[in-house]
Amino acid sequence: MDLDDDYFRSLDLKVGFEIHQQLKSKRKLFCRCPPVLRSDEPDFVILRHMRPTLSEMGTYDGTALMEFKTKKEIYYQIYKDTTCTYEIDDTPPFEMDEEAIVSAMAISLALGCNLVDEVHVSRKQYLDGSIPTGFQRTAIIGVGGKVPLGEKEVGIRLLTLEEDACREIEDRRHRIVFRIDRLSIPLVEVITEPDARTPREAQEIAGFLGRILRYTGLVRRGEGSVRQDVNVSIRGGRRVEIKGVPRLNWIATLVAGEAIRQKNLLEIKEELLSRGLRREEWDTESFATMRHEEVTHLFAGREVPLFKDAFPEEVVEGGENEVRAVLLPGFAGVLSRVTHGSRTFADELSGRVKVIA
């Protein structure tokens, strides 16, 4: 892939990071269990379902409702000797681990941050099931840092101390399995300003910050101990978060691909607007009344992976399930437009539908 710096600067590319780095510690952040990862068979498994609850304003969170509609069965693999009732949300949290707090303060100072006067634990929603409570406990430790890199400075917006989530073992259809051993291992999250302007510069910044963290001697090493969320935007687009990038040398390629994807989507948007399409024509109520037809007969007798939940073997006419097609006026030739690599606009739409399917 061409990583021409001038091209990406012309898109007004902006890239920032949320770097999640596990800390060395003798215990977990909110309980006294040892921070060890297991590879042996669990002692038992529990099943949970996430359900939305009313907020203090008397409303439901839209994201929580969407996750609830997926009807996911969430399984947690448990070990008797390295897991406690805090981790399965049956006991309130213990006091925060002092060693982790001191380490987070030291790393904040290494990144030029100002330490906060008081540490307050707050909640961050986690709706994918990777934390049994449905939220992550997190605390701001440092703010407003800067570190020099060549001729520029990299801004550090926040450094927080928080608990890690469970490890995902399997995700198949409406069943997801987590191993609870990683839950509550202390980690710092370093949130940068969107100071990178090219894919190569983004990778350089991530590598530089990673070296600072390692040089403190306070962080864990090895696979899975550090993960980067990469935030990417271009002129006219919206910030898109690439979650959990595990390898530094992937960053430049992923950033470039996302920038090109956003550019192509903006071009498709302008094409559709030029054809007379309007946003208000595509809200929920309008879409529900659009013309659609049953097309089950077109697939009858065939095994279609796209419909495997409704038709596990082959598509059958006349049953309780059917295949329907929605007419998309004005979209002729647009669905096959490439957004990035081999991915088309039709793939983008189907990906959105699969989130709640």
What pLDDT is attached to residue 356? 59
Q: Locate tokens 């800067």: which residue?
A: 146
User: Residue 307: which domain range?
Assistant: 269-356
Residues 214 and 256 in one domain: yes
Residues 233 and 300 in one domain: no
Report the amino acid identity of residue 275. Answer: R
Phi-psi region of 284 (alpha: psi -120 to 50; beta: other; left: phi over 0): alpha
Residues 182 and 282 in one domain: no
What is the count of structural domains for the chain?
2
Record the tokens describing residue 177, joined without a space.
């399995």
What pLDDT is attached to residue 280? 73
> Where do the DSSP E strands lie in the chain?
14-22, 44-48, 73-78, 114-115, 121-125, 135-149, 152-163, 167-172, 175-179, 186-192, 226-233, 240-245, 292-294, 324-326, 338-340, 343-344
Give the residue from 268, 289, 308 where a domain finishes: 268
What pLDDT is attached to residue 9? 96
Query: What distance in Å separates the CA atoms of residue 271 and residue 261, rounded to the nearest whole number?
Result: 15
Contacts of 205 (CB under 8 A, 6+ apart): 15, 17, 149, 154, 192, 195, 196
What pLDDT is attached to residue 324? 82
Residues 215 and 325 in one domain: no
Record the tokens describing residue 137, joined without a space.
């406990």
Give the residue from 268, 294, 324 where a domain finishes: 268
| Mean pLDDT in consecutive groups of 10 residues from the start of the chain, 357 residues | 87 97 97 94 92 81 77 92 92 95 98 97 90 94 95 95 96 90 97 97 96 96 90 95 92 96 95 85 65 83 77 77 83 92 90 70
Residues 73 and 211 in one domain: yes
Query: What distance in Å separates the CA atoms of residue 301 and residue 177, rounded to the nearest whole number?
Result: 33
Report the amino acid identity of residue 85. Answer: T
Residues 176 and 141 in one domain: yes
Residues 80 and 192 in one domain: yes
Contacts 24+ apart (CB under 8 A), 207-213: 207/248, 208/147, 208/149, 208/154, 209/17, 209/19, 209/111, 209/147, 209/154, 210/19, 210/21, 210/248, 212/110, 212/111, 212/147, 213/19, 213/21, 213/107, 213/188
What pLDDT is attached to residue 322? 83
Give the residue from 268, 290, 322 where a domain finishes: 268
From the list 263, 139, 241, the residue with the least C-alpha distance to 194 is 241
**Buried b / exposed e across 118-143, counting CB within 10 Å, b at 16+?**
eeeeeeeebbbbbbbebebbbbbbbb
Report the amino acid identity of residue 230. Answer: V
Residues 60 and 70 in one domain: yes
Helix-then-strand count for the chain, H and E: 7, 16
What pLDDT is attached to residue 58? 82
Contact of 172 with 158, CB cutoff 8 Å: no
From the list 269, 267, 274, 287, the residue with the least C-alpha distance to 328 is 287
Report the amino acid identity of residue 63. Answer: T
Residues 318 and 176 in one domain: no
